[in-house]
Amino acid sequence: MLDQEQFTSGQINWLLLATLLWLSPCVAGAEETRQLPEMTVQGETPDGPAVYPIDLQQAPLTTADSAALLERAPGANVNRNGPLTGIAQYRGMYGDRVNVLVNGMHLSTGGPNGMDPPLSYVPRAQLESLEVIRGIAPVSTGLESIGGSMKANVRTSHFSSGEKFIPSADVLLGGATVDSSYSVGAFGALANQNHRMHVYGSKENGDDYKYPDGKVTPTEYDRNNGGIGYGYQNNGQEIGLDYRQNRTNNTGTPSLPMDIIYIDTDIYDTEYSGTFGGYDVHGRLFYNDVEHKMNNYSLRTPPMPMMTRSNKTSSDGLGFRTDVGYALGAGRLLLGADGQFDSHDATVTDPVNNPNFYVDVFNNVERNGLGVFAEWNGSIDTHWDMQLGGRYARIQSTAGDVSHFMAGMNPAINTLQTQFNDSDKDNNQNNFDLVGKLEHAYSSQLGFNIEAGIKNRAPSYQQLYLWVPLQATNGLSDGHNYVGDIDLDKETAYEVGLGLDWNTARGYVTPRVFYRYVNNYIQGTPATDPTVIMVSTASGDPNPLQWSNVDATLYGTDMGWGANLNSHWSLDGVISYVRGKRDDSSDNLYRIAPLNGSATLSYTRANWWLGLEGVAYARQDKVSKTNNETTSPGYGLANLRGGIEIVRDLALNVGIENIFDKEYENHLSGINRVTDSDVAVGQRVPGTGRNYYATLQYRFN
């Protein structure tokens, strides 16, 4: 039974949404209706997959983590471990199960604990678009997309018409009170019909953020980002070159054992597209290099005086994609090949108390993938469209020998080290993916769709090669030590989905339902090796987990909806629900978002707008016993946002988030590990308190 506090949170939750819905008939008749913009479900290409583009207009430019915007898309959410470490979640899957592309690239992240997920390389001020592909991801979206696909695009230059070079620029200044943060950014471009070039840069800095009972420490952050790019086109051929640099300095991650000291990343990208007769040819080659350092003593007090630890990691990734598309029958066939070649190293040291201390956590780890795919999109009659796709991918993983400075003195550690070094460390998986989708246009306003697919994912390098009990779990953040299993099998998901799209001049609704069974789902289960338990107990966790293959089921529903009330008023929102559970035991999957939704009532004029947003999360009591996950109460929040064009090209956006300064805990926030904080150790990290923000943006083109 809910206690009084939880009951009140839930009532506020749904009362807020109900109030916004109740307002609609009150203003619907005030003025004539207007046609809804095509913004909710649209085609990536005329024959491409349905995507949900997230409306960035009312999203504050001062938001440090672009991943937070995923909460605005049906089925999507974000796992938070710190201000810049938002890990994408879609329909209950997260981390590397979700294929997140940045400018079409799959980036190799630098650390073994998810401190630099892909969207952390896209500051909000540089974000041009963020899209969530709804339902089963087409095979063309990436090597592994068992949990769906998302696409983030960074601002870039665009060709103009004529020979004259046309300049454009965008300058941003912003600040927020909840963390005393500021952001500055600039983008400049010059282009004509054949050439385009651009340069950009941004800086974001914030202190520990406030919540109603104090401050969450450490949640400070400091990120600098910039780059340059050039493009050339002529006679239907185009080539683009881009270089991007990210420098993240002292940044807290209170849900993880260590904080970010620096993440230095360089990203190189080149892309070609051209048309030869009826064939569209596309190619991309990209590379990223990451140097990453973290520790548990610079931004927080270590758990014990002699337990100071530092972890220095490095990673690099080389990727490519090439494809050709051409007309076939009543549609278009896309044939392609892609690859991703990643390497990882991580060494833990203690430079403060013991210069001799070191642990090779990961050494010469390689995870390489090669794939080929075919996908046809087209019409099978007047009212039916179809997508059929197939993919084969070969994922090969291997690792080098490791060492521990205590191996000569500690028999248990020596046993684990010897077992790992003497083992065959190759893990090779053959993945076959199939996707089929049917869309039926019942009328110009109503359509139905059905989809089915088989998707695969090979184990991550952490799940294979974590040989000594540690919390290097790609941001899982459940507080347990883990060990890997070199013999893990691939995950195989069998998924079906149904959907409806209704869109008129007065409103739209796009519900989806899905069911996904995952064979060999990789989940931590209680370790049984006495040596593992002995070593883990000595480091503070007597109940370590080992990555294992189990079976799991995820199902649910999500929906985007809206009403065009009149020429100035509109109401839009999303609702999402997912249920995740183990099939091999009576347990639930870990870190699954509860039922949640949002609604925004907007008033728009020619040069200004206002938006009142309600956000509601239900109680989550379907939690993982294996991961010792705690329940979380429901809550409701209200946000007020607005913007005005002061003069031509100069706009001011302001807002108040969490208007009533409510204390709440998002279920997807991690558990606090930091002793010198106003948040108790073991408590879920609370959300931000009342926040006033403002941004001033000058843009001309």
The model's pLDDT over 641-657, given as tens digits with 9 standing for 90+, comes to: 999 999 999 999 999 99
pLDDT-derived band of residue 60, with 50, 70 and 90 as boundaries? confident
Inform me whether the pLDDT recorded for 308 exceeds 50. yes
User: Which domains are assigned to the chain?
Assistant: 4-51+157-700 (2.40.170.20)
| Separation CA 656–CA 285 (nearest Å) | 43
- The angle subtended at Cα 100 by Cα 99 and Cα 102, nearest 5°, is 140
Inform me whether the pLDDT recorded for 124 exceeds 70. yes
> What's the one-letter identity of residue 618?
A
Q: What is the pLDDT of residue 25?
A: 35
Q: What is the pLDDT of residue 18?
A: 41
* pLDDT one-digit tens code per residue, 364-420: 999 999 999 999 999 999 899 999 999 999 999 999 999 999 999 999 999 999 999
**Summary mean pLDDT of the chain:** 92
| Separation CA 667–CA 599 (nearest Å) | 20
| Separation CA 236–CA 273 (nearest Å) | 8
Give CA separation, 177 vs 46, 659, 691, in Å: 44, 13, 6
Q: What is the pLDDT of residue 49?
A: 44
Which DSSP letter does residue 120 get?
G
| Separation CA 277–CA 288 (nearest Å) | 34
Listed residue (240, 328, 239, 237) closest to 275, CA to CA:
237
- The angle subtended at Cα 142 by Cα 317 and Cα 244, nearest 5°, is 40
Quick one: average pLDDT of 56-66? 80
| Separation CA 340–CA 108 (nearest Å) | 9
What is the Rg, in whole angstroms, of the alpha carbon atoms belonging to the chain?
25
pLDDT-derived band of residue 13, with 50, 70 and 90 as boundaries? very low
Contact 663, 654 (CB under 8 A): no
Contact 259, 252 (CB under 8 A): yes
Beta partners for 472? none
Contact 255, 81 (CB under 8 A): yes
Q: What is the pLDDT of residue 63?
A: 78
Count each helix (H run) and each strand (E run) in the chain, helices first.
Answer: 4, 33
Inform me whether the pLDDT recorded for 558 exceeds 70. yes
Listed residue (684, 680, 687, 682) closest to 662, CA to CA:
687
* pLDDT one-digit tens code per residue, 561-578: 999 999 999 999 999 999
Listed residue (154, 45, 140) closest to 107, CA to CA:
154
DSSP string, 56-97: -TTS-TT-S-GGGGGGGSTTEEEEBSSTT-PEEEETTEEGGG
Listed residue (437, 541, 453) closest to 492, CA to CA:
453
Q: What is the pLDDT of residue 2?
A: 36
| Separation CA 178–CA 215 (nearest Å) | 10
- Residue tagged 């200044």 (tokens): 173
Beta partners for 201? 186, 226
Q: Is 462 helix (H, G, I), strand (E, B) or coil?
A: helix
Contact 99, 321 (CB under 8 A): no
User: Token digits for 588?
Assistant: 């639930």
Listed residue (153, 159, 155) closest to 51, CA to CA:
153
Listed residue (354, 357, 322, 358) closest to 339, CA to CA:
322
Which DSSP letter does residue 427 get?
E
